[in-house]
Structure 1
């Protein structure tokens, strides 16, 4: 299984994308010819075997006559659901919750919102995660980096996080975009053919919401500003009532396939919402904070819709602020997540959701550790002065300053803008950057080609 975990999600998704266009089946050599990124035949066979084992593909025939197709029958779906059950190891208590919520709705006891479930929780005294759980999550989720400003780690892996979290969180809502579809939509703005516009909207809303959390890492928290705006971003253009985006609920809502009846009194919804935020803000452990909001926010259903999406992204707030590995919900089976949330709604039991949370975080932490290793270690000094470097270098180029005038401008600028102990090193970096600029790297300083060309003429003159 360790080797399978190393297969990039994009590589598996690319294979599935090819197979999806051949409903009657396609052979391995044909897949190899169509793939955008060629790979050795042996590598493809290994990945096909992995997809078949996980019931993500169906193999018809054997050997050279084998063809692969997407699961599309009731039997295939049942097989995949059975395989999903084997993915996440469940505790005895988690198994009990799962078995209960799998009963037909008429066999389960109708229940309403119980405020005592929230009232009983005392931050830093009550714990959903055991001390051992929290220590384990910290061990796997804390990257070995020097202390840095809030959000630094998330910014390093932002491009990957945008796609992973947007895709997986949308997938858990039933969105049918593939990983590659999501990548094209986020990076190129291309909607997938044959898919509803609301699916693209859902993914793009996730992108905006994730960027909001990461860019404002030192300002976000468990407060009305953050959570209401997070909802507004995630719900943008998706609600029947557009004014409900970013606004607490004052209408009754129901939960599909559940016997749970959420709170209906607007005043009590607002009181409970504020209590959840105050309680979450008081929790000192980042992982307990993350899990607490995954439990309590959906249970309250404070918004007309999009409550679970808000909870999944809100769970990342303490992780982003603490420079911990984010939680992208990679590989989490939709059925397992849905049943876990139902367990909270109908039983006020967190055991199954905790099993899912811990497993999902282990997967995410391992993924981003590998991503970060491939990116290399950033220079903390450059990271600290990222905006100042962009400002002064951009100004020097737009001003078309030659070498002598630029040196004088740099000296004056650092005296006014940079801490005394860092001035010399900062000036050295600016000068080194100026001498290394070329047509392939100047855009990072928000310089237009015409500005660069005009400056280059002056700079190159002796």
Structure 2
């Protein structure tokens, strides 16, 4: 039965088959997998994988070849193709993508946290830390904590609120989010829960930025951060800002978090103690992104707390923030499942490193002035210019912009449509009297469009 396949064996078999784009013979799989199994055992394992739908075959008898049933993650999810995964992350992705019934149920492993030694057993290598520091440099490193974040606060409120909410399935667009945050206007076709989620992010980000000198990795900060992010969203209002007293499960995972309140509190305090000792801000940020969701200390909203908490150390050191721009939801989720089920950080780490590079490119003055042009904007330069020109020249009201963008995006390959919409929305939010001329619109047209958008 397929349930009897060990996860490591299955991963080795699937990896071996992927090495042969035209399909692998039994002998090729035996050689490439490195597994010490009998020939008949190999055949049974492959039969089980075929029954579970993970591989298919072509040919017969001597020409029989085995193929992975589905293309790899990047092929099925074009939005993630920019993320280059390490070999270790690729192997982990193969494991966590396997059917849930083939994965072994696990509980909380306290050794995963207890064995971590701050400033000794770093998750990020010296080279990775060095690269992150270069990306995050804002020329504000020696100024008071929070100086840089305050300078870009209006932009950060929109970007981080939208992207973090998007990773929770929120369907507000970037423009919807800007309108809600800037003027309190709720989108007509969205739920009250989605609006509340975004407004909670706004409050939580302001808390982190405005109180940069007073907050840190302590109970006061994390409990209040949860209170702000979960406000008016939990079935039990008393659970907001309080450690969990009830058991919880993780959707699409075989991981079961701790259920005993005393143990949750013990590990929560230990996590904060270790986090507060970490000297490098990037290691500190990634540590909390790993261990807070793993512990699941709150009834809900744990991932949101971890994403915003990861910015605490960056903000204190005036580094470019991490706003999760363009992060693919599914790849991020799979990275967390790797942590939950195997205590393996490799996939989540690759997502973190890529996400920070994207965010730094958005915010860092150095990056903006010296970085290479965005290939996507270069490729669709004329389409972007034409779309924005029409929006301004015809003074399209906000409620008509998204349908128009969706219609224009249909002309592009499916993998580029959402990116086009995001780029145009970002450009519209960045327009002012000193840069609108590049879209060849008259001052009178720009003024009329601005007046329409202020309504």
TM > 0.5 fold call: yes
C-alpha separation between the residues in 2 aligned to 1:256 and 1:189?
A: 33
Quick check: 1:117 aligned with 2:117?
A: no
1:209 to 197, 204, 207: 204
CA distances 1:178-235 after superposition (whole Å, capped 9, x unpaired): 0000000000101111111000000000000000000000011000000000000000
Residue 178 of structure 1 corresponds to 173
Work out the number of aligned pairs and report it: 297
Structure 1 CA distance for aligned equivalents of residues 80 and 128 of structure 2: 22
Change (3 A) 1:371 1:256: farther
Q: Does residue 286 of the first structure (1) align with residue 252 of the second (2)?
A: no
Which TM-score applies when normalising by structure 1? Answer: 0.63
* Structure with max Cα Rg: 1
**SS across alignment from 1:315:** helix
Aligned: 1:158 with 2:153: yes
CA distance in 2, matches of 1:85, 1:154: 28
Which digits, 9 at most, give the CA deviation of each residue in 1:216-275, with x for residues without a partner? Answer: 000110000000000000000000000000000010001111100000010000000000
Residues 155-176 of structure 1: CA deviation (Å, up to 9, x unaligned):
0000000000000000000000
- 5+ residue gaps, structure 1, are 1-77, 375-462
Report the CA distance between 1:85 and its aligned residue. 3.5
Query: What is the alpha-carbon distance in structure 1 between the residues aligned to residue 246 and residue 207 of structure 2?
Result: 28
How far is the alpha carbon of 1:320 from its aligned partner? 0.4
Displaced runs of 4 or more, over 6 A? 371-374
The residue that corresponds to 2:417 in the other structure is none
Counting only pairs closer than 5 Å after superposition, residues 372-411 of structure 1 correspond to structure 2 as none
Aligned to 1:263: 258
Could you tell me how far apart the structure 1 residues matched to 2:88 and 2:155 are?
34
Q: Which residue of 2 aligns with 1:368?
A: 363
Provide the rounded CA distance (Å) in 2 between the counterparts of 1:140 and 1:187: 29
Match of 2:323 in 1: 328
Contact (CA 8 Å) 2:361, 2:368: kept in 1 or not?
no
Closer/same/farther in 2, CA of residues 321 and 221 from structure 1, 3 Å limit? same
Closer, same or farther: CA 146–370 of 1 in aligned 2, 3 Å = closer
Quick check: 1:144 aligned with 2:139? Answer: yes
SS of corresponding position for 1:217: coil
Q: 1:194 to 1:243 in 2, by over 3 A?
A: same
| Equivalent of residue 191 in structure 1, options 186, 191, 204 | 186
2:297 to 294, 302, 311: 302
Q: Check the 8 A contact 2:315/2:321 in 1, yes or no.
A: yes
- 1:182 partner SS: helix
Partner of 2:93: 98
Question: Cα deviations across residues 419-460 of structure 1 (Å, max 9, x unaligned)?
Answer: xxxxxxxxxxxxxxxxxxxxxxxxxxxxxxxxxxxxxxxxxx
